[in-house]
Structures are given as C-alpha cells and as structure tokens.
A and B are shown apart, each in its own frame.
Chain A
Amino acid sequence: DTEVTQTPKHLVMGMTNKKSLKCEQHMGHRAMYWYKQKAKKPPELMFVYSYEKLSINESVPSRFSPECPNSSLLNLHLHALQPEDSALYLCASSQEWGPQETQYFGPGTRLLVL
C-alpha cells in the first residue's frame, strides 16, 4: 500500500491566522518531505525529515514550522503567512535515502492566504 494522506484538502486562512497541515504514512518509510508547488511549476523542496529529525531546511521562512511527532506523522505549522504563500503543499515519503528511493506523494493541501 503506497498511500500518503494529507489533511485538509483545502484551506483558506487570513494573514493573522495559525493553522496546521497534516501528513501521515503507514508504509514504514523513514524519510518524509514537504514541498510547495505553485501553479504550472514543479514542486519545490521545503523540508526533509529523516528518522524523525530535520535533515534539510531549504531556507524556508520561519512562518513555516515543520514538526515530526513520530515516524508516521509530519505536520507543517503555518503562522502569519503572506498571500504569495498560496500554493499546493505536497507531502511525500520514501523508504530511505539514496538515488534508488522513490518518493510517494500525498494528494496535497491547496492553501489560499487572503
């Protein structure tokens, strides 16, 4: 079962709100990822967690705060976002790292910041 789930599917928030995106996988994968994707563009890597520890932060603004409570869950906490942060946010996971490791993506959360 190669399934990654994400909630919510859609989110509308104001610039002063605090919200969280959630991602879950039950494939026993040890690496999890957050991507941001603008319309008609490829996904851009934001964060990578390996064995529940933050491995990569691609210079993402501090208004995005990732959290990995356990090996199956990945959260992205949002605070004081800007309208330009409106995008599709994709979560992915992979068994390990290395060139042969396939990343499996969730359905994404479409975020609109007003």
Chain B
Amino acid sequence: AQKITQTQPGMFVQEKEAVTLDCTYDTSDPSYGLFWYKQPSSGEMIFLIYQGSYDQQNATEGRYSLNFQKARKSANLVISASQLGDSAMYFCAMREGVYNFNKFYFGSGTKLNVKP
C-alpha cells in the first residue's frame, strides 16, 4: 500500500479563491509527521507547513492551513486567497517513527495552476 496518496494530478483555481489539495496517508506508527512542500518550475522544494500526529490543533502558516483528520488519515492543504505565484507542484510527505532517517515518504504531487 502507498504511504502517501495524492489523488489530484492537476488542479485549476481562480486567483483570490481558496483551494484544497488532498492528501491521505497510511501508517500504523502512532508517532508521525506530515509535511507539505511547494515546488515551482525552478525546482526548489519549499517547506510550507507541518502537522504532528499528536498535535491537537490544525497547523496554520499564513495563507496555508492543514486540515488534519486523524481518524480518516487525511492531511489536506488549504490555500486561501490564491495568488498567481502559487502555481507550482505541491507534494505531501510523511515521516514516521523515531530514529528512522529513511522513512520520509512523498506523494506523487498535485500540479496547481492559478488562473488570473
């Protein structure tokens, strides 16, 4: 089974509107972290937001928020008031366990296009 699933290969959103990018995960480890990264066409992976498995509240960072539904094993990224500069590939990632360097799983990504 895939550890991280992103079911939306591509999405369009109108500028200034909100958009939700879906991410589901699979783990039996009680301790894990969930991350979202943005990758513009330039290639750099930009860290956006983090949610820990024990965090009680949803993470927020500026226009980014993470809708964490633990029972459903979902960690959707919400971008409010989309901007043209938000057009990029977005990756959801998970790190599970402790002292496990290589257990950092990426989803297949969602390509977001923001229309003017």
B43–A103 contact, CB under 8 A? no
The secondary structure that dominates the A interface is loop
Judge if A90 is at the interface, Cβ distance under 8 Å.
yes
B95–A99 contact, CB under 8 A? yes
B106–A42 contact, CB under 8 A? yes
Judge if B68 is at the interface, Cβ distance under 8 Å.
no
A interface bracket (residues with beta carbon within 8 Å of B): 20 to 34
Judge if B98 is at the interface, Cβ distance under 8 Å.
yes
Query: Within the complex, which residue of B32, B43, B102 is in contact with A99, where a contact is CB–CB below 8 Å?
Result: B32
Judge if A110 is at the interface, Cβ distance under 8 Å.
yes
Which of B16-24, B44-52, B72-80 contacts its partner?
A: B44-52
**Given A99-B32, A99-B52, A102-B35, CB of A88 within 8 Å of CB of B98:** no
Within 24-65 of B, Cβ neighbours of A (below 8 Å) are at 31-33, 35, 37, 42-47, 50, 52-53
B45–A99 contact, CB under 8 A? no
The distance from the CB of B13 to the nearest CB of chain A, in whole angstroms, is 20
Please indicate the chain B residues that have their CB under 8 angstroms from the CB of A107 in the complex: 42-44
Judge if A43 is at the interface, Cβ distance under 8 Å.
yes
Judge if B83 is at the interface, Cβ distance under 8 Å.
no
Which of A20-28, A48-56, A63-71, A74-82 contacts its partner?
A: A48-56
B102–A45 contact, CB under 8 A? yes
A99–B96 contact, CB under 8 A? yes
Cα-based distance from A88 to B43 in the complex (angstroms):
8
* Residue ID in chain B nearest A58 by CB atoms: B102
**Given A42-B107, A42-B109, CB of A98 within 8 Å of CB of B45:** no
